[in-house]
Every structure is written in structure tokens, then in C-alpha cells.
Amino acid sequence: MIAVFIGGAVAMIGSLFGTRYLIGFFRRIGRGQPILGKEDLGPTHHMAKQGTPTMGGAAIVIAAFIGWFVAHLRHGLAFSNQALIMWACIFVMAFMGFLDDFIKVRKAHNRGIFWKKKGYLTFGITVLFLWWLVTATNVSSTFSITRSSYPGWDIPWPLWVIWAAIMVWSATNAVNVTDGLDGLAGGSALLSFLAYTVIAYWAFRNPEVYGLVNPLDLAVLAAAFAGACGGFLWWNAAPAKIFMGDVGALGIGSALGLLAVTTNTHLLLLLICGINVFEAGSVAVQMGVFKASGRKRRILRMSPIHHHFELVGWPETTVIIRFWIIQGICVATALAVFIGDFTRGVGQ
């Protein structure tokens, strides 16, 4: 447990000061976030935010890694190949996000050169890393909800790789969609990572039930990301002094998806990332209705749904706090399902 606290605390301090450094750096070079205008059907009510420093998510990912690394300096916690593969995937995905952010800032337009191809590229990368994870470690390749044996359906590993890649890739896109209001994505992710800290540590204390590969290492990784998100929120809370950017959204999303894979909580991810599912689903529904109506009707005033509530009159901070509350309810429900399964079917 001490290693978990060390990882979270070091990551929070690193993110707090690292984000402050990035704010000053981007202000000095005069580079900031472009906002989609009316011609791109963007949130014109956010035009006042144009020029705010971005790519702050780099501080989250780097601080989380430092926190995770420092926790291993304490005797008793070994570096696991499973976590190292996860970190490799997280850094590659974050780098993809960094490239997109850099091009957006350089071109002064909120669509990077990869915006049409980024989905295909990131999915291909995710497939490669999930293949590496399943072939190089003892991660379970069953279909699961709260543990590998529930329901415990065996899946041929090639199909499992595709299934897991879809899950991780969807998480990255869902976090990216959520990152539209000050602090919304960061605060939601913090709650999700706290949930995975509890789940992984619970599995560490009950190895005969869950049989996870290096669960304590997973708990430290989740705690480090939670702490890093907390430090970032100090500067990202409304009115934000810096934005997360794709570098943060893709890094955080891939970390959440990989934690679901490695803790055998595949379907529980839908609850743990409940607000992200809600946000991404709103975009899918909006696009579906728009195309089905011959490009004439929209069910929301604007998607993702947080913009819809802004346009119906909710202040931005009201939307953020209410969405955080919804995320908290989703996370609490997910933990109740996880612990309820333990006490009902396993703990007796």
C-alpha cells in the first residue's frame, strides 16, 4: 500500500509543477489552442478560449511515469514486463496525440493532419501492442466482467487481441471526445483511475480469486495516473490556464483501456468510464440521426452532449460539476458490482 501512495503522491507533485512549467513555456513561445469556428460547426461560444496553452497532457503522462518509477525504488516492488508493455503503448499513443496537437498549433487550426487517418493509425498501433501483451505475458485471454472466470468465456487469442484493441481504442476516443470543457476529462479520469487503484489492489490482496499478473504494479500505475490528473486539475479547472490536448487524451484513454484488459474488467470499463461512454455515445447518436434524416435533423443542439447543455443555458462549471457527479455515481456502481461479485460468489 505504501508503494501505491508513493506513486500517487510523486505523480501529483510532478504534474502540479510540470503543468505550471508548460503553461509558462507555451506562453513564452506564443503558441496556444485553436478553436473550431462557425464555418467548421464548432463551439463558437468557446472562441474566447482560443490561444490558451495546450498539450498539458504531456505533464500528466510524464508525471505518472515518474511516480510509478519512483514507487519501484522502494524494496519489494519489481518492474513487471506487463506494466512496461503498457507504458510503451501509452507513450506511443500519447506521441500520436502530441503530433496532432503540434500540427494543430502550428497550422492554427483545430484539425491536425491526422484527423481523418488518426483513427486507423491508432487502432493499428493498439492491435500491435495487445498482440505483444498477450504473447509476452500471462494476461488472461477470456471474456470478463469482474474477473477472468466470470463469465470466463475462452476466446481464441487472435480474436481476443481484436476485442481488447477495440476496447482500448474506444477508450482513447471516448476520453478525447470528453475533453471539451475545462477539467471535465481530467476530473472524470481521476475518478476512473482511483477505481482501478482499488480493483488492482483488491486483486493483489486476494490472488487466489483473481490470479492477476503483477496486480500491485497495476495498482501503482493507476494511482500514479490518478495523482497526475489531480495535479493537472489545479491548472486545468475552469477557467483553464492550459488544456490537456490529444497528447493527454490518448495517453489517459489508452491507460484506462489497458487497465481494463489487465485487470480482467472488460465490461466493467463501461461503468468505470461511464461519462466517457455517455459523451461518445452522444456523438454516435447525433451522427446517426443526422445521416438517417438526409442531413436535415439533429437530436442535440451540438455534440458532444456537454455542448448541448451549454447551449440550453447551463453554465460551463455547472455542466462540469454535474458530469463529475454522474461519473462518481458510475464509478461507485462499478466498485459495488466488483466487490459484490467477490462477497456473493467468491468470498463466502
The cell for 24 is 509558462
Cα(75)–Cα(52) distance, rounded to whole angstroms? 42
CA distance 36 to 332: 35
CB 4 within 8 Å of CB 220: yes
| Positions in the chain short of pLDDT 70 | 30-51, 108-116, 345-348
CA distance 144 to 155: 11
What pLDDT shows up at residue 151?
Answer: 83
Domain count, the chain: 1
Burial of 325 (0-12, 13-18, 19+ CB in 10 A): exposed
> 147 — phi, psi (to 5°)?
-165, 165
Tell whether pTM > 0.95: no
- Measure the CA–CA gap between 223 and 63, rounded to whole angstroms: 11
- Strand, coil or helix: 146: strand
Domain housing 78: 2-346
Three-state DSSP state, 294: coil
In this prediction, residue 291 carries a pLDDT of 87
Q: What is the pLDDT of residue 27?
A: 85
SS (H, E, C) 25-66: HHHHHCCCCCCCCHHHCCCHHHHHHCCCCCCCHHHHHHHHHH
Q: Are 50 and 239 in contact (CB under 8 A)?
A: no
What pLDDT shows up at residue 259? 97
Grid coordinates belonging to 154: 475462452
How far apart CA 63 and CA 232 sit, in angstroms, is 10
Q: What is the DSSP string of 172-189?
A: HHHHHHHTTSTTHHHHHH
**pLDDT tens per residue across span 2-37:** 999 999 999 999 999 999 999 999 888 766 666 554
Q: What sign does the CA torsion over 344, 154, 91, 254 have?
A: negative
Identify which of 220, 225, 209, 336 has the alpha carbon closest to the alpha carbon of residue 271: 336
